[in-house]
Structure formats: structure tokens, C-alpha cells
Structure 1
Amino acid sequence: MAASSQTLCIGTRKGLFTASRAASGHGWRLGAPHFPGEPVTQFAADPAAGAWYAALRMGHFGIKLRKSVDGGSSWQEVAAPAFPVKPADGPWKDDPTPWAVDMVWALEAAPGRLWAGCLPAGLFSSDDGGASWQLADSLWRRPERLEWLGGGYDHAGIHTILVDPRDSAHVTIAISCGGVWQTRDGGESWHSTSSGMDAGAYMPPERRYDPNIQDVHRIDHCRAQPDVLWCQHHCGLYRSVDGGMHWQAIAAPAPSGFGFPVVAHPGDPQRAWFAPAHSDARRMPVDGRLVVNETRDGGASFEAHGYGLPPRDAYHLIYRHALAVAEDGQTLAMGSTTGGLWISDDADASWHCVSRDLPPIAVLRWV
């Protein structure tokens, strides 16, 4: 299917699907899957190069990266990020983290460069469209990495990469559990920017404000005003108005402040959406009612929207990358771990169920 401004790419455990508006202009239509049966963990589109990228987690066969330059009509396999051989001596010989990529958890295109965040928490870049990859040694070999913790996985992983639209050398990443890190020189140097975050729910009092162990679930920035960032943290919600240098806690909205995804409105820095779950222990909607929490005033207040979403007996969980807003700021999509896919054409006021029968959804991206 050719790419369009209203094409949704859906990465699932059993292939990459697309959804586009029906020919009548009403409703949405699913296309046949690319790579049927194969687990897709990430997707990115590079509009400048006219390329799509899909990352696959193939178990025994390792990590695969596939590229299309014709909107998904055909694909070719390109190089996948890979660590160098672990040193046999020196300060890293006893590193408990395996030097082997288990999953590509983040994938972002910037002018002339493709970034990949991995599990374990290695950051890679490609300047030749995925033909080769370079590990950001300046981040991987920082001594702080030895204290990063696994969140839902045994080892820490990089799940968020934000490239500043004003300056592609300025990149912000989020690590579970390693906090927020930034570079302003294209990855040559890094600094931790998790000031204000609180890990008191899972760390002892003396370490609750330690920036190096913060479990950031996801961050996003307002593309029109990139200094405004939003964060879904393991312990609640945060917002920054100074480019992520400092974070302010947001009072937990009803029904819950726990969750995984957040998306910022592309043009309005006061507006963002979160998909809440009951809690870490109960990763399902509160009272079985699926909703999306929206703020229009910088987090001062929230409204829970659920019109068109399951109002009861719903046990969906929305992963970090499975809530997405299109560039128009009006069209949103949400997918669940149990194969539900919903799209809103009116900025979350109402939702339309596209499918209840997809494989578990890992990532949604508008192209």
C-alpha cells in the first residue's frame, strides 16, 4: 500500500498491518499484513528519504531490520544494530549486561540519520539508511550504566528517542530504568536530565530521587514547542517546560496515574493524552472500563474519554508505543496487548473500533 498522510502502521506480534480511510471517506480499512506471523517490535518512517523501517524480534534467528522505499509494496533486509564483542579484559570484562541486542525498542528518523534504542540499553545510529550501524560508545561505556535496572525485562532498555526538530544534534532518550538522558552534539557526550522525578514507590528513601534509576515508561514532546515534554513514569505523570532539564509532578488524574504511553499534541503545548491502567500489580483498566485521559491545560486537570471504547469487562493494556496522534492533532489511534485497535477522528472525543482480532499490538505510527 502506498504511504499517505492518513496511513496508520501497526506493528504486532504477527506482522505489520496498515489501516487507511475507506474509499467512502467514512471508517477505516485494514490491509493484509507484511511479514505475516513475524513479531514486529518497532516501526519508523523517514519522509525525507521516502523510507519505511520495521524491526523484528525473531528469537533464535535474532534481530532483523527491513526497509521499504515504496510505501510497503516491497521490502529488503538491511543490517540490524549489533554490539561489538564484549571485552575480555579491562573495566568492562565483568559487565553483567549481555552485549547482544535482544530487541529494537525505539526507532526514529532524523535528517540524514536513523536512531535505534535497544534492549539491553544500547543506542545505535545509522547514517546510510540502515546499511550499517554505530554504537554510541559515549553512552554505553558510561559507568552509570552499571546501575541501570531492568523494568519489565531483566536488563535496562531504551524505549524513547526524541530528536529536536530545531536541531537534530539534540536528542533526548528515556531508559527503563535509567532515567532521561540528553545529547546536544549528536551523541558525542551525554548528561542525565531526570531532576524532579521520584522513584519512591520501588526504591528505598535514600535513592528515591536518584536520576540514574528512574523508571520512565515513555516521554513525548510537543513538536511545535519541543521544550515542553510529557512523561508517563512508573510512579506517576510529569511535565517539563525547559527541554526536560527539570520535571514537575502532575497530580494523578482519575481513574489512575499509572500507565505506559503518553502522546503530546503536535501543536498545543498544553495538551496531551495518557492511557491509564489500574496499577503495576493489575495491568488492566480500572473497573474494566477502557479510557484515555486528556489534559488541555498543562496537566492542571484531566478528562477521561471513553465514548466508543469498551465500557465494562475490558482487560486491555496499552503498551508504550501503542497510542499515537497524527500531525493534524485530531486523529488518534490506540492498540492493545489483546488485539484491539481503535481510531478517533475528533481528538479523543469518540472512538471507532477498527478491529478486536489483531495480534498483540506493540507500536502504532502515522505516516
Structure 2
Amino acid sequence: MTRQDRAWAATRKGLFELRRRGGAWQVERLSFVADPVTMLLPPDDSGRMLAGLNLGHFGAKLHASDDAGQTWREVTAPSFPPQPEGAEGPAWKLDQVFALERAGDAIWCGSVPGGLFVSRDGGESWQLDETLWRDPRREQWMGGGNPAPALHSICPHPTRPDELLVGVSCGGAWRTTDGGASWHLRAKGMRADFMPPELAGDENSQDPHLIARCRDQPDVLWCQHHCGIFRSADNGATWVETRALPSSFGFAVAAHPGDPDTAWFAPAVKDERRIPVDAALCVTRTRDGGKTFDVLRTGLPQQHCYDLIYRHGLAVDDSGEQLVMGSTTGGLWASGDAGDSWQTVSAHLPPIYAVKFG
């Protein structure tokens, strides 16, 4: 079995393992029955994987598996230092594990509130990136859909393990080239039209919903922003807006691993409604760097559909041909032809927070 033949869906009622057999996807196993799983890190070659849970009154938890999800054990979750008296901003308390990514021998974790943590021992222990957390500009960050800022995107550079770019809602995009010892804003060109006109271009006020990097052309990054779709061809130094129909609003973006001009999005009606345009689900795809977009509907519900795709609800595999997509109302779809057509894997899973190949 290859990584393209296995996927995962983190949902409000557990973690589902999916297998592709004979070209069709099916649910194979459920872990954490009835517990909300907010994020997962797929297994590496040794079978090591992580899952973040949000147990409400019992708090945010982290579990690890050494056998690709067959068995699990709780490990220490990331935690913040004691909050100084009178410190501004949200409570220094882990509310949610919102992103997990590998970079070299490190694992990085993004959280609500907007903290960034690193582990050098496979997720057994964590250290807060103090430089980003103590940056005075962080105090200007604000919550988007969450009451507190959320660090949701972690984009490691594929050949430089000490370099990564992160996205914060609402706090823009930031890059480090020294493993987190220093950080620089990288959101020039993004536009926050919910801010006063004189602050619409403020890099520290931007609301990227998700940022994704092209693996083979790492200077190319795609961003699904609250106010549109943006692309960078210079490693985040500048961003250029592009527009798509039926909508440039959404939460998810998947970047083709090999083709810097190809990316997929899941459009929706903006702000208060947050449903598919005309209650008909589609995926938009560009193959020319955002100049034009294909609207892909084959196999997706086109009537009375109110499914929203969360930030981490759309994923593409290493080949750039297989995609999986999960929705807030438990719909799960897969495509084997780069999104041209879709097959329903399940129509009645719990609300899906994240999907991943691996």
C-alpha cells in the first residue's frame, strides 16, 4: 500500500482511516470513537503519527501512535508558560491543536491561541517558539472565526529544514529562516477589506484562511484569504490577488506538489452565510497560475447542499491526481483525476475538520 492509497479524516466523532482498493475509497477503521479530533499528522515511514483532540471541559489533548494508528497513547500536549499578570490578549492556554507538520527531524504545531511549538522527539515534548510569541506585534492579532487568533498554516521549505512560513488568522504570514530564532512578516500585497481603508494593506492584520506551498517549486505559495485568493511566486515576499467564479471566498486550498501553476479551492458564499454558492458544491481549479479557473462539479451534490469545507478539509496526494475533500455536514468525496470528477465515499460521517493523505 502506498501513501496515495491511504487517507485520514479527522472529525467531531473520531479519526477515520480510509483505504483505496480497486480504485474505490472505503472507511477501514475508526479511532477515538465519539471524541473530537481536530488535527492529525499522518504516519512517517516508521508508523509514527499524532492526533490532536479537543475534549471540551477536559481540554486539548495530544495522542501518539507508533503503529500507523492501530494503537494510541496520550502524550504531553503543547503548553504555554504562566501568563504574566496584566498581559494583554487571550488566555495563555492551549485551546486547540490546529496544525501539525514535519520539517526535517522536527515536528511543528500551530494552536489556538496563535502559538507555534516545536518538538525534536517525535511529539513526546514541546517547546514554545518564544520569539514569535513574545513579538509585540502578536498583541495586535485578533480572532477570525475563533475567539482567539489561530495559527493554522505551517509551510516548511522542502530543502531547508530551518525555514518555514506560517499563516495566522488574523495575523498575516510570517517566515523564519533560522528555525524560529527570528521572524519576519510576509504578507505584502494581501488585502483585508474588513479593516479601515488605511489599514487594509497592513501585513499584521491579514486573515489568511490557509496557505499552501508547491513542493517542487517552493517559492510558489497559494493563499485562500478571507478577502480573496492570493499567490506568491517569491516565497511570500509579495502576493498577487486573483479572482475566481463562482466565488473567491472559502477556507481550503490545495497546492499541486509538482506544478506551481495548479491549485484547488472550495468556494462558498462569504461571511454570514458560509454555504456553497446556489447551494451547489463545486471545486475550482487553476492550471495557469490563477489567470483562469475550471469549475468542477461532476459527482458533487448540486441541489440543497449546505456543506462547507473547512481550512484543512481538502487535500491532494504526492502525485497531484488524487484528492479527498470533507465537509461540515459529514460529506466525504474523492477524485482520481485531479478533480475533474468526484465519487462519494460517505454522505453521513460526523463533521470533518481535516483530511490528509498518508
TM-score range normalised by the length of the shorter chain: over 0.9
- Matches of 1:26 and 1:126, distance apart in 2: 37
Output the amino acid matched with 1:241: A
Report the counterpart of residue 129 of structure 1 in structure 2.
122
Report the counterpart of residue 282 of structure 1 in structure 2.
273
- Matches of 2:303 and 2:129, distance apart in 1: 46
Deviation at 1:170, TM superposition (A): 0.3
Q: 1:164 to 1:48 in 2, by over 3 A?
A: farther
Report the counterpart of residue 17 of structure 2 in structure 1.
18
Q: 1:189 to 1:46 in 2, by over 3 A?
A: farther
Q: Could you give the per-residue CA deviations for residues 176-208 of structure 1, whole angstroms, max 9, x where no partner exists?
A: 0000000000000100010001112x1111111
Report the counterpart of residue 94 of structure 2 in structure 1.
101
Output the amino acid matched with 2:87: D
Deviation at 1:3, TM superposition (A): 7.6
Output the amino acid matched with 2:351: P
TM superposition score normalised by structure 1: 0.96
2:78 maps to 1:81: yes
Task: List runs of 5+ in structure 1 lacking aligned partners.
Answer: none
Deviation at 1:46, TM superposition (A): 4.9
Q: Could you give the per-residue CA deviations for residues 148-178 of structure 1, whole angstroms, max 9, x where no partner exists?
A: 0110011111000011001010010000000
Deviation at 1:60, TM superposition (A): 1.1
Report the counterpart of residue 197 of structure 1 in structure 2.
190
Deviation at 1:69, TM superposition (A): 1.3
Deviation at 1:4, TM superposition (A): 4.3
Q: Over aligned residues, Cα RMSD in angstroms?
A: 1.1
SS at match of 1:348: coil
| Contact 2:329/2:351, CA 8 A, preserved across alignment | yes
SS at match of 2:35: coil
- Matches of 1:198 and 1:81, distance apart in 2: 32
Output the amino acid matched with 2:279: G
Which of 184, 188, 198 is residue 206 of structure 1 equivalent to?
198
- Matches of 1:351 and 1:11, distance apart in 2: 20
Output the amino acid matched with 1:326: D
- Matches of 1:150 and 1:57, distance apart in 2: 18
Q: 1:135 to 1:292 in 2, by over 3 A?
A: same
Q: How does 1:211-360 map to 2 (within 5 A)?
A: 211-250=203-242, 252-360=243-351
Percent identity reads 49
| Contact 2:106/2:121, CA 8 A, preserved across alignment | yes
Task: List runs of 5+ in structure 2 lacking aligned partners.
Answer: none
- Matches of 1:6 and 1:242, distance apart in 2: 33
- Matches of 1:203 and 1:241, distance apart in 2: 26
Deviation at 1:113, TM superposition (A): 0.8
Q: 1:87 to 1:49 in 2, by over 3 A?
A: farther
Which of 175, 182, 185 is residue 182 of structure 1 equivalent to?
175
Deviation at 1:130, TM superposition (A): 1.4
